[in-house]
């Protein structure tokens, strides 16, 4: 069995003469012939494929934005390819030292209503229950959480439970972090049980990259699958919000984890940012979303990369991103095309709808102010714009207002 090798042009990788043997040995170990545990690494010293010079060069980056991964995920890297997308996801790079952006680009600090709990959109409460992940993605928009001094995430959700019990407009909760599936199954069970005691909470979402970072977390824990099954039922489902960024993460192990989750009665949807050097290619996006939809994982959001500190090198301008997405859609099935290209701005979730010769068109898919939901915007085209704040917005109004205007003008 091989890892990280699909059956298409974008997934086929050539073996590295010097490292394929050690990679294969690592894979065999992970598959259980020699070791039954995935090992986590926090130091670049633990990556023999990096030369000493490379480690010395990248150490200052990892001191600011920590490195973390595991032997399963690292085994997906083709070390022969300097532009390997998996390497780009998890191995530090010097460009991260470019100091543009902020550590809280969506102004999440303004959303807190209780310890570890944000309430931005009326029906949804967001719980940050962990500050650890199966690996640290270099482009993470919550990288601020990984600082030792940061106390935003909280395992104690009692205040949050009290808050949502008093807000019956909240019918869905989202567990995030960090990665909630890094928690022990017992802790997760306590959290899920707490939510299920509140009748108006219908949907529980768990945002996780664990099926990509370490599918063995799922494959080897029947108790996790039982707990999910007990808390997901036809009236009140659990959704697992996966984060596959590239088709090479869809390994046989990931496919097994997806199938087990589906068998447990949860539903799956995927969200990924558009990332320079990882998936800024129509063929890659098309393959990723098609393969996810073939597996029963609904492609849900394609995110504009947030202007987070250290992320400038991963950002794709909106106009280019729109072009990539539209081109990808030509070879995507209708089911794969359910995905929306959006940016999570402090004012709301803004969908990037289209371009014409002069303007870019946008719409509030979700908004901090409920009055704004559905509002249309346009702005003069700006080739290099990376974020809503880079555009000169002109409000067009609601859909009804635009219709009325069009009727009056005709």
136 is a site residue for ligand SF4 (CB under 6 A): yes
**Cβ(67)–Cβ(92) below 8 Å:** yes
- Quote the least distance from Cβ 110 to ligand SF4, whole Å: 20
Joined tokens for residue 186 = 């017992």
Instruction: Kindly tell me which of 257 and 362 has the beta carbon lying closer to ligand SF4.
Output: 257
Instruction: Kindly tell me which of 198 and 206 has the beta carbon lying closer to ligand SF4.
Output: 206
Stretch that binds ligand SF4, among 24-32, 57-65, 104-112, 176-184 (CB under 6 A): 176-184
Stretch that binds ligand SF4, among 130-138, 260-268, 285-293, 306-314 (CB under 6 A): 130-138
Contacts 24+ apart (CB under 8 A), 340-343: 340/300, 340/301, 340/302, 340/365, 341/274, 341/302, 341/304, 342/301, 342/302, 342/303, 342/304, 343/303, 343/304, 343/306, 343/318, 343/387, 343/388
Instruction: Kindly tell me which of 140 and 228 has the beta carbon lying closer to ligand SF4.
Output: 140
Query: Which residue's structure tokens are 């500190």?
Result: 309
- Quote the least distance from Cβ 92 to ligand SF4, whole Å: 13
114 is a site residue for ligand SF4 (CB under 6 A): no
Q: How far apart are CA 257 and CA 231, in angstroms?
A: 18
**Cβ(251)–Cβ(258) below 8 Å:** no
**What's the residue count for the chain?**
410
Q: Which of 27, 140, 342, 386 binds ligand SF4 (CB under 6 A)?
A: 140
Instruction: Kindly tell me which of 125 and 212 has the beta carbon lying closer to ligand SF4.
Output: 212
The footprint of ligand SF4 on this chain (CB under 6 A) covers a number of residues equal to 10
287 is a site residue for ligand SF4 (CB under 6 A): no
Q: What mask, x for binding ligand SF4 by CB under 6 A, covers residues 296 to 335?
A: ----------------------------------------
Strand bridging mode 203-208 / 40-41: unpaired
Instruction: Kindly tell me which of 145 and 391 has the beta carbon lying closer to ligand SF4.
Output: 145
Instruction: Kindly tell me which of 33 and 102 has the beta carbon lying closer to ligand SF4.
Output: 102
241 is a site residue for ligand SF4 (CB under 6 A): no
179 is a site residue for ligand SF4 (CB under 6 A): yes
88 is a site residue for ligand SF4 (CB under 6 A): no
What is the distance in angstroms between the CA of the first residue and the CA of the last residue of the chain?
63
- Quote the least distance from Cβ 42 to ligand SF4, whole Å: 13
Q: How far apart are CA 110 and CA 237, in angstroms?
A: 29
Stretch that binds ligand SF4, among 51-59, 129-137, 252-260, 281-289 (CB under 6 A): 129-137
- Contacts of ligand SF4 in 185-224 (CB under 6 A): 209
The stretches of 132-232 forming alpha helices (DSSP H) are 158-165, 185-196, 210-213, 216-219, 222-231
How many H helices and E strands in the chain? 13, 15
- Quote the least distance from Cβ 212 to ligand SF4, whole Å: 8
Which residues sit opposite 378 in a β-bridge?
361, 394
Joined tokens for residue 176 = 């995030």
**Cβ(342)–Cβ(304) below 8 Å:** yes
- Quote the least distance from Cβ 142 to ligand SF4, whole Å: 5
* Helix-, strand-, coil-residue percentages of the chain, each rounded to 5: 35, 20, 45
Q: Which of 133, 191, 201, 298 binds ligand SF4 (CB under 6 A)?
A: 133
Stretch that binds ligand SF4, among 136-144, 280-288, 333-341, 353-361 (CB under 6 A): 136-144
Q: Which of 87, 142, 309, 340 binds ligand SF4 (CB under 6 A)?
A: 142
**Could you write out the DSSP letters of every residue in 13-65?**
-PPPTTTHHHHHHHHHHHTTSS--SPPEE-SGGG-TTS-HHHHHHHHHHHHHS
- Contacts of ligand SF4 in 50-79 (CB under 6 A): none
Stretch that binds ligand SF4, among 152-160, 172-180, 318-326, 333-341 (CB under 6 A): 172-180
Taking residue 41's Cβ as centre, other Cβ atoms within 10 Å add up to 16
Q: How far apart are CA 406 and CA 40, in angstroms?
A: 59
Residues in touch with ligand SF4 (CB under 6 A): 133, 136-137, 140, 142, 177-179, 209, 243
């Amino acid at each position: 069995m091989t890892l990280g090798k699909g059956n298409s042009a974008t997934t086929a990788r050539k073996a590295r003469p010097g490292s394929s043997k050690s990679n294969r040995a690592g894979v065999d170990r992970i598959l259980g012939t020699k070791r039954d545990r995935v090992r986590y690494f926090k130091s670049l010293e633990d990556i023999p494929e990096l030369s000493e010079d490379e480690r010395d060069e990248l150490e200052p980056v990892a001191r600011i934005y920590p490195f973390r991964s595991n032997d399963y995920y690292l085994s997906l890297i083709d070390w022969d390819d300097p532009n390997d997308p998996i390497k780009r996801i998890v191995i530090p790079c010097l460009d991260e030292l470019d100091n543009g952006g902020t550590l809280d680009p969506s102004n999440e600090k303004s959303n807190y209503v209780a310890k570890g709990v944000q309430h931005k959109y009326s029906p949804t409460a967001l719980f940050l229950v962990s500050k650890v992940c199966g690996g640290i993605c270099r482009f993470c928009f919550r990288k601020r959480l990984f600082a030792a001094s940061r106390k935003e995430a909280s395992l104690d959700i009692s205040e949050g439970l009290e808050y949502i019990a008093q807000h019956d407009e909240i019918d869905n909760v989202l567990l995030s972090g960090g990665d909630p599936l890094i928690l022990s199954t017992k802790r997760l069970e306590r959290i899920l049980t707490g939510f299920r005691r509140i009748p108006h909470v219908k949907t529980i979402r768990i945002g996780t990259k664990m099926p990509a970072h370490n599918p063995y977390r799922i494959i080897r824990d029947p108790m996790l699958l039982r707990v999910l099954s007990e808390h997901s039922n036809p009236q009140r489902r659990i959704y697992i919000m996966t984060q596959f960024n590239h088709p090479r993460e869809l390994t046989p192990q990931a496919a097994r984890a997806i199938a087990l989750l589906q068998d447990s009665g949860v539903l799956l949807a995927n969200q990924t940012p558009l990332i320079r050097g990882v998936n800024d290619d129509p063929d890659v996006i098309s393959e990723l979303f098609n393969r996810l939809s073939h597996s029963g994982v609904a492609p849900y959001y394609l995110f504009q990369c947030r202007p987070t500190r250290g992320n400038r090198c991963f950002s794709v301008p909106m106009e280019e991103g729109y072009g990539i997405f539209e081109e990808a859609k030509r070879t995507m099935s209708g089911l794969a095309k359910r995905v929306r290209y959006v940016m999570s701005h402090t004012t709301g979730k803004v969908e990037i709808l289209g371009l014409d010769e002069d303007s870019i068109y946008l719409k509030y898919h979700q908004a901090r102010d409920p009055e704004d939901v559905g509002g249309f915007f346009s702005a003069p085209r700006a080739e290099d714009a990376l974020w809503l704040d880079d555009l000169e917005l002109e409000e067009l109004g609601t859909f009804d207002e635009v219709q009325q205007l069009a009727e009056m003008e005709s």
